[in-house]
């Protein structure tokens, strides 16, 4: 006698869960984003193009994406070092350092911006030492990059930590026994293993930085054409009741951010596929 046992799941069936998932995503993500496109469509194409290519808007794009890419790159390098140190080494105060990594998550972004401005201002704890060297941090693009680096670091560290924990130290010992130096071990053994997670952390840090407002608005100085980020320009348009222009600029940011994240995800998929193919 044959028994057909149907596998049971704690959650409802595929159709029901898919329906609820799509409804939730539509209410939270798709409908608000589609509203941007509908509102910006109230502008004619010539008006839309004039708004999004205005020199002030272009300058804000350049600063926003440039500083975000710089901050995400810095976080990818130093975030890896922090994650590696927290996983591989045990030292006094390790738990405190581990908790400090999450501090940008816990602090309100406005508090982070005020704190960074106070520290990096010409009379601040760090700024007073940078000024004699001719380095101006607060109220410059450098200050924007510092703020975006601060709020993006946890994404890289927390993404890398579980991957590094799963790495077997014997792989490094085997590479060393075969004559590989530190750089060769890192490049051929460690980097391929952590690269997908590193790219994920980089993408999350980049996405967080592109849309940041609270921690940047204080330290940037908000000078049009110089230190004005796109999120602030959108707020300015909204305060002027120019909703169509605000949504038009938001659409540009949305499309550009999506294209960047898509590119990074494709690179991540390629690196994972290549690592899997190499392992087989």
State residue 258's pLDDT score: 85
First to last CA, the chain: 41
Q: Is the pLDDT of residue 3 over 50?
A: no
Residue 237 included in any domain: no
pLDDT digits (tens, 9 = 90+) for 158-181: 999 999 998 887 777 787 787 778
Q: In whole angstroms, what is the distance from residue 219 CA to residue 140 CA?
A: 8
CA distance 111 to 116: 9
Report the pLDDT averaged over residues 188-194: 85
**Is 33 within the bounds of a domain?**
no
Question: Would you state the structure tokens that stand for residue 11, as one six-digit string?
Answer: 């959650």
With respect to residue 1, please indicate whether it lies within any of the assigned structural domains: no
Residue 136: inside a domain: yes
Q: Which pLDDT tens digit goes with each residue over 247-256? A: 999 999 988 8
pLDDT at 209: 92
The confidence band for 28, taking pLDDT boundaries of 50, 70 and 90, is confident
pLDDT at 141: 93
How far is 39 from 31, CA to CA, in rounded Å? 12
Task: Compute the distance between CA of residue 127 and CA of residue 131 in angstroms, rounded to an integer.
Answer: 6
* Domain interval for residue 93: 59-230
- Considering only CA atoms, which of 228, 259, 261, 255 is closest in space to residue 54? 228
- Which domain CATH number covers 115? 1.10.3720.10
Mean pLDDT, residues 49-67 taken together = 94
Determine the pLDDT at residue 123.
87
Per-residue pLDDT band at 1 (split at 50, 70, 90): very low
Q: Which pLDDT value is given to residue 270?
A: 75
Provide the domain count of the chain: 1
- Is 137 in contact with 126 (CB distance < 8 Å)? yes
Whether residue 151 lies inside any domain: the answer is yes
Tell whether 201 is covered by a domain. Answer: yes
pLDDT of 276: 60
Does some domain include residue 158? yes
Residue 7 is encoded by which pair of tokens? 């596998």
179 found inside a domain = yes
pLDDT, one tens digit per residue, over 258-272 is 888 788 778 777 766
Q: Judge contact between 232 and 220, C-beta under 8 A.
A: yes
Give the number of other Cβ atoms within 10 Å of residue 243's Cβ. 13
């Amino acid at each position: 006698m044959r028994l057909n046992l149907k596998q049971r799941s704690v959650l409802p069936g595929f159709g029901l869960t898919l329906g609820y998932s799509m409804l939730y995503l539509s209410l939270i993500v798709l409908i608000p984003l589609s509203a941007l496109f509908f509102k910006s469509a109230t502008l004619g194409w010539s008006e839309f193009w004039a708004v999004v290519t205005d020199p002030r808007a272009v300058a804000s794009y350049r600063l926003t994406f440039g500083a975000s890419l710089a901050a995400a790159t810095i976080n990818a390098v130093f975030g890896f070092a922090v994650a590696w140190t927290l996983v591989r080494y045990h030292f006094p105060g390790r738990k405190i350092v581990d908790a400090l990594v999450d501090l940008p998550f816990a602090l309100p972004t406005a508090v982070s911006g005020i704190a960074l401005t106070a520290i990096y201002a010409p009379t601040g704890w760090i700024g007073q030492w940078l000024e004699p060297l001719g380095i101006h941090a607060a109220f410059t693009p450098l200050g924007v990059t510092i703020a975006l680096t601060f709020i993006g670091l946890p994404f890289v560290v927390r993404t890398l930590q579980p991957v590094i924990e799963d790495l077997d130290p014997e792989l490094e010992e085997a590479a060393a026994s075969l004559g590989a130096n530190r750089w060769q071990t890192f490049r051929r053994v460690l980097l391929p293993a952590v690269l997908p997670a590193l790219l994920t952390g980089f993408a999350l840090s980049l996405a967080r930085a592109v849309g940041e407002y609270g921690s940047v608005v204080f330290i940037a100085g908000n000078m049009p054409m110089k230190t004005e980020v796109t999120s602030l320009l959108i707020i300015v348009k909204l305060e002027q009741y120019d909703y169509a222009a605000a949504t038009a600029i938001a659409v540009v940011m949305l499309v550009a951010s999506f294209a960047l994240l898509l590119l990074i995800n494709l690179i991540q998929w390629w690196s994972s596929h290549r690592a899997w193919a190499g392992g087989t």
